[in-house]
Structure 1
Amino acid sequence: MKTPLILCLAMASAFPMDAMSSEKMAQDKQCFGCHSTKPDGAAPSFQKIAQHWKGNKDAEAKLVATIRQGSNATGGPHWNKATMPDQAERPLVSEAEAKQLAKWVLSQ
């Protein structure tokens, strides 16, 4: 009986979190307080961010740094005067969570 469980765990760890879990994480980390998936709000939409970074080899690393440390970590503000707050003003985001969120944003 242990073999199927081990196989399931191995398969689950081989694949990245699905889009629904990434979107849920974005909600849990309060990203939707300023961003949305399509229309702009207080901050640019995730779709606009993805379009802006499309084709940039440094996109994921820049987004991870911005997600974890705020706009000032990567020379912000990036979108007019709006700035992304650092983790003193919002829930903590681990490196792994930031990578997952960055990949999800870039897929929009």
Structure 2
Amino acid sequence: MKLLYATVIAATVLVATPALANKDLATKSGCLACHQADKKVVGPAYRDVAKKYAGDKAAEAMLFDRVKKGSAATGGNKWPGPPIPMPPNEGTVKDDDIKVLVKWILAGAH
């Protein structure tokens, strides 16, 4: 029985850790200063981004480019409200980290 509990706990930690790690990465990268998972702050809520691009096969590459280069360099504001450009993260956030963040956002930032 102890082995069963240990297995369940280990599986839970393995499943939960990437989501927590990605939120930590978003915090460390400065993303959460303007975005939240479930509500608009300065930029759109990550869950709204996930809904908007659900099923769009080109979304991951486009969002990677947008996060890296900023919104002004990649087509401007695509959300309702005043145009507040997202600054570029090139040179401040590693490409591999941007890829992780974009996948996390498209998965709903859970």
Query: Which interval holds the TM-score relative to the shorter structure?
Result: 0.7 to 0.9
- The residue type paired with residue 94 of structure 1 is K
Identity fraction in percent: 31
Unaligned runs of 5+ in 2: 1-16
* Normalised TM-score (structure 1): 0.76
Unaligned runs of 5+ in 1: 1-16
1:23 aligns with 2:23: yes
Q: Which residue number corresponds to residue 71 of structure 1?
A: 71
What is the total number of aligned residue pairs between the two structures? 90
Distance 1:74 1:49 in 2: 16
Q: Which residue number corresponds to residue 84 of structure 2?
A: 82
RMSD between aligned alpha carbons? 1.7
The residue matched to 1:18 in structure 2 has which SS? helix
Distance 1:87 1:107 in 2: 21
Cα pair 1:68 1:92 within 8 Å, conserved: no
Cα pair 1:35 1:45 within 8 Å, conserved: yes
Distance 1:39 1:45 in 2: 5
Distance 2:106 2:45 in 1: 11
Q: Which residue number corresponds to residue 36 of structure 2?
A: 36
* Alpha-carbon shift at residue 72 of structure 1 (Å): 2.4
* Normalised TM-score (structure 2): 0.75
* Alpha-carbon shift at residue 66 of structure 1 (Å): 1.0
- The residue type paired with residue 87 of structure 1 is N
The residue matched to 1:82 in structure 2 has which SS? coil
Q: Which residue number corresponds to residue 98 of structure 1?
A: 98
* Alpha-carbon shift at residue 74 of structure 1 (Å): 2.1
